Amino acid sequence: MEKRIETEVDLKQLLGQYESIRLEFKASGLLLQPAQRIVDQLAQEVSAFANTEGGTIVIGIREGKSGKKSIAAEIDEGVEPATMSPESLEQLVASNISPALPGLTVRAIPLLGTREGRLAFVITVPKGSTAYQARPSLRYYTRTEFSASPLHDNVIRLLMIRGKAPHAVIELSSFTRLTADEEYLQRQLELNKKWEDDGSEDLHLIPLTQRAELEKPRRGFDEYTFVLSIRNDGPVTIKDCLLVVSFEPPFETKIDVSATRNRPMYFRFAPSRRATAKGGWKEYEDLPGPGLFPEQEVPFPGASFTVDLTSVTDLSNHFLNWRLYLDDAPMESGRFSLEHEFKAHNRETSSPTANLDF
């Protein structure tokens, strides 16, 4: 799950991060505008997050540009509590979303130093159970990777029944990188240990294939490993599903030797088998895989894989796309920005208090 933003330290950890399908930055100056302008902007963003996967709007961070994408540049001056309280902001936003959105919250973040006494705000938008309209524009919005955009009528109709149909969220529960240097060092350490344990100068007790593997030269790529999980965030038990995952260029996968760039990978719960005896013969019947109950979250079976990427530090424009088919529900889809996810996971694993769809 995404880390909760509660202090200025948490705000500082967002600096350098891109806006994403679950994260939006706004400058504090927005709250100094006339009420109608505040409502117009925030109602649109809240509608988009509620109609997609939920998300967070941070007010108090000034944006910059990195290429064509918006990035959190700096914490701004904040606003005076007398100008806007969290209760007033929550009421302003909630009253302009239809129908009412349970779980919508606004949290005030006290600023320190030269900004002491002023506030930033974090609006947490849950994923909704139906379609949510921004009242000022009478439009329904969806969230793409970097912005909100109006929904088409057929999508609105599907959203309105999602509270009655199976629904799930796909998440990257683990995202790690093994660099070429780290992998080479691991092999050297293992080789040295075997040398010491064996006590032989020619390492004659180490199998030749194993020794050749350990003595290979430093490779020219980093290894990224992903583990996907799935969470039932709908109201009914999910009985069956199919997950389809693919990469956008320039990834080259190691899923199998025949895999080509952009070739999709398929993951599904393994069905169980029931044997019945008929006339001395055994007949086998495939049964559905284990169901996933509401709010239950599990690693997706088999959805752990590795990608080799030339040793570079820029992961921009690298995406992991997914499609999810659940029982008789409409197909769900989404994608992860690897640049955003790698920064988020590194931040979580480096902090002693850190925290990261069937």
Tokens of 314: 């820029």
At residue 329, φ and ψ (nearest 5 deg) are -80, 160
pLDDT of amino acid 15: 94
AA identity, residue 37 = R
**Would you say how long the chain is, in residues?**
358
AA identity, residue 307 = V
Q: Which of residues 94 and 282 earns the better pLDDT score?
A: 94
Read off the pLDDT band of 131 (50, 70, 90). Answer: very high
User: DSSP states of 220-282 as a string?
Assistant: SEEEEEEEEEEEE-SSS-B--EEEEEEE-TT-EE-S-TT--TT--EEEEPPPEEEEEEETTEE
Q: What value does the mean pLDDT take over residues 120-135?
A: 94
Report the range of poorest mean pLDDT among 67-71, 131-135, 224-228. Answer: 67-71
Helix (H, G, I), strand (E, B) or coil at 332: strand
Domain positions in the chain: 8-160, 171-179+220-350
End-to-end CA distance of the chain: 16
CATH of 8-160, one of 3.30.950, 1.10.1400, 3.10.350, 3.30.420: 3.30.950
Per residue in 34-67, pLDDT (tens digit) is 999 999 999 999 999 999 989 999 999 999 987 7
CA atoms of 306 and 221, how far apart (whole Å): 12
256: pLDDT strictly greater than 80 = no
Identify whether 250 is preceded by a cis peptide bond (ω within 30 of 0): yes
pLDDT of amino acid 281: 67
Q: Which of residues 61 and 232 earns the better pLDDT score?
A: 61
CA atoms within 13 A on the CB side of 276: 4
CA separation (Å) from 267 to 69, 345, 358? 32, 23, 12
pLDDT of amino acid 208: 67
Per residue in 72-101, pLDDT (tens digit) is 999 999 999 999 999 999 999 999 999 999
Print burial letters for 58-77: b (CB count within 10 Å at least 16), e (below 16): bbbbebeeeeebbbbbebbe
pLDDT of amino acid 332: 82
pLDDT of amino acid 137: 94
CA atoms of 229 and 149, how far apart (whole Å): 28
Q: What residues contact 1, with CB distance under 8 A and at least 6 apart?
A: 355, 356
CA dihedral over 144, 124, 3, 75, signed as positive or negative: positive
Share of the chain above pLDDT 70, in %: 80
pLDDT of amino acid 277: 67
Tokens of 54: 């939920």
Q: Which of residues 22 and 195 earns the better pLDDT score?
A: 22
Q: How far is CA 110 from the centre of its chain?
A: 27
CATH of 171-179+220-350, one of 2.60.40.10, 2.40.160.10, 3.40.50.150, 3.50.50.60: 2.60.40.10
Tokens of 74: 């700096």
CA atoms of 35 and 28, how far apart (whole Å): 14
Mean pLDDT of the chain: 82
Instruction: Give the residue among 70, 68, 76 at the shortest CA–CA distance from 12.
Output: 76
280: pLDDT strictly greater than 70 = no
Tokens of 292: 């996933």
Helix (H, G, I), strand (E, B) or coil at 125: strand
pLDDT of amino acid 1: 42
Q: Which of residues 113 and 277 earns the better pLDDT score?
A: 113
Q: What value does the mean pLDDT take over residues 169-190?
A: 87
Q: What value does the mean pLDDT take over residues 24-39?
A: 95
Give yes or no for a contact between 126 and 46, defined as CB atoms under 8 angstroms apart: no
237: pLDDT strictly greater than 80 = yes
123: pLDDT strictly greater than 90 = yes
Strand partners, 120: 109
Q: In what order do the strands lie in the sheet with 148-150?
A: 97-98, 133-134, 139-143, 148-150
pLDDT of amino acid 357: 30
Per residue in 4-18, pLDDT (tens digit) is 899 999 999 999 998
